[in-house]
Structure 1
Amino acid sequence: MSRPGLILLGGLPGTGKSTVAVPVARALGAAYLRIDRIEQALVDSGELPENPMAAGYLVGYALARDQLDVGVSVVAECVNPLKLTRDAWKSVGDRHGRWTLEAELVCSLPAEHRARVEHRTVDVEGLRLPTWQQVLDREYEAWDRDHLVIDTAVTSVAESVDLVLRHANALAHPDA
């Protein structure tokens, strides 16, 4: 990819963000930022009086800025539930004149989504995965601008990765 940029994969827990983000980052040789891992590291430090609310995102924005500054594309993966967080991620790319691909992963089949949430394994040591009820109760604002939406209930992992890569390539090479 000639022009570095920011790929942001958001969506509720259990929609496949990590499953798609890792092969996208590998294919691009991009930095991979996973907010769950950042937040868990902050918790593990023992320095915070309670679990982080915004700190993980703030660290993620700072790390993404550093990577973009040195010319490395970034794949950031997080729930990204609010307009505020989406705008903050977008400003990271915009501030440095980089392209930003915003993608939301959804799972349109509630039974499938629930099964994924209830049968996931923890891949970040110490991370407590949300219950299905916690996913349902989570604050998650509707997106207010155009973005790529991938329904992982009907789109395979390989197809999802390919969609992200094609959209990123179009942004990285706008004259092609």
Structure 2
Amino acid sequence: MLIAMAGLPGTGKSTVAGELGRKLAAPVVSVDPIEAAMWRAGVARSQPTGLAAYVVAEAVADGVLALGQTAIVDAVNAVEEARAQWRSLASRRGVPMVFIEVVCSDPAVHRRRLEGRSREIRGFPEPTWDAVERRREEFASWTHGRLVLDSVIDLSRNVATALAFLAAAP
């Protein structure tokens, strides 16, 4: 199965992805550390490293799926082109595709989490609240089904909901 996380920075999608990865013994392929590694390797930030990170994540997830394992992709997936990329990969590999969008319904909590977090991704600056607000405006409407989790709900309950959803997936 291919599981693609989605949601704005700071909503908790990486936390949910990590817990799902532990519960399912599935690798989590995260776009942000890939992009940071490109910068550390000397690829200029003026280059389309965000797009390149998605392409690298796709290649890594493809390798995991080729081994017959579940892969979890951790990325914002704000635009339909990114979402189509994951659906295409799942189709090519003949595996079920599930999107899990993580939102935070309380803007004050979301902002506090974003401004207080430190993921320690070397060379990767945390986004500002203003950057997240701009991203929110660019977030494309969904054209396909997904599970939506609200991170104001307890993590263990959200993970249990996600696991039940995944168990029911085709």
Taking structure 2 as the reference length, what is the TM-score of the superposition?
0.93
SS for the counterpart of 1:46 is coil
CA distance in 1, matches of 2:28, 2:144: 24
After TM superposition, give the deviation of residue 146 of structure 1 in Å.
Answer: 1.4
Secondary structure of 1:145 counterpart: coil
Question: Does structure 2 retain, via aligned residues, the 8 Å contact 1:101–1:167?
Answer: no
119, 123, 126: which one aligns with 2:120:
123
Unaligned runs of 5+ in 2: none
Matched, 1:102 2:99: yes
Structure with the largest fraction of helix? 2
- The Cα shift of 1:122 comes to 2.9
Which of 89, 110, 123 is the aligned partner of 1:113?
110
Secondary structure at the aligned position of 1:84 is classed as helix
Aligned twin of 2:157: 159
Q: How do 1:136-175 and structure 2 match up within 5 A?
A: 136-138=133-135, 139-153=138-152, 155-171=153-169, 174=170
Counterpart of 2:95 in structure 1: which amino acid? R
Among 40, 44, 68, the alignment partner of 2:40 is: 44
2:8 maps to what in 1?
A: 12
Aligned-residue sequence identity (percent) comes to: 37
* Aligned-pair Cα RMSD in Å: 1.3
Q: Which structure 1 segments of 5+ residues have no match?
A: none
- For residue 50 of structure 2, give the secondary structure of its aligned residue in structure 1: coil
Q: Tell me how many residue pairs correspond in the alignment.
A: 167
Tell me the SS of whatever aligns to 1:112: helix
2:88 aligned partner: 91
Question: Are 2:51 and 1:54 aligned?
Answer: yes
Give distance in 1, aligned partners of 2:160 and 2:42: 40
Q: Secondary structure at the match of 1:141?
A: coil
Deviation track 1:89-112 (CA, whole Å, cap 9, x = no partner) reads: 111111111001101100111111
| Structure 2 residue identity aligned to 1:9 | M
30, 34, 48: which is aligned to 2:26? 30
In the alignment, structure 1 residue 21 sits paired with structure 2 residue 17: yes
Moved over 3 A (4+): none
Letter in 1 for 2:2: L
Residue 125 of structure 1, CA deviation: 1.6
Q: Distance in 2 between matches of 1:150 and 1:20?
A: 9
How far off is 1:63 after superposition?
0.9
- TM-score, reference length from structure 1: 0.90
How far residue 158 of structure 1 moved from its aligned partner, in angstroms, is: 0.7
Partner amino acid for 1:53?
Answer: G
Q: Give deviations 1:3-32, integer Å, cap 9, x for gaps.
A: xx1111110001001111111011111111
